[in-house]
Amino acid sequence: MKIQTIKSTGITHGMHVTKITFGSGETTSRHYHKWTTEVYTVISGTGIISQGGLNQVVKSGDIIVIEPLTRHQIFNTGEGDLVIYSHKDRSAQFKDYFE
């Protein structure tokens, strides 16, 4: 998995945007954020996003909102890369990743 910060506007401003590239078969660990709302924009590829015990098939153009305290996980189910932009609110500036 390759993670690249696209834009971080700082603690007193809007959003933190990260580009995440998953190779075929790659996944994240199942995790949650106590304070952060996370919005995923699928740029390319196909996969599954599991959140709150439900699985959602995702593809290019899909937008998924993950509310705080919701356990979630991303799986690349395609043959090529799954590329997602992760948009997080300013609370992402603090340690907010729990398994």
Residue 98 lies inside a defined structural domain of this protein? no
Residue 99 lies inside a defined structural domain of this protein? no
CATH of the domain at 75: 2.60.120.10
Q: For the segment 36-85, what is each residue's pLDDT rounded down to a tens digit? A: 889 999 999 999 999 988 999 999 999 999 999 999 999 999 999 999 99
Does the pLDDT value for residue 10 go beyond 60?
no
DSSP β-ladder status, 82-88 and 38-44: antiparallel
Rounded Cα–Cα distance for residues 48 and 58 (Å): 6
Residue 83 lies inside a defined structural domain of this protein? yes
Determine the structural domain holding residue 51 and report its residue range: 2-93
Listed residue (83, 76, 70, 2) closest to 31, CA to CA = 70
For residue 2, give both structure tokens.
């390759």
Beta bridge partners of 53: none
Task: Name the domain count of the chain.
Answer: 1
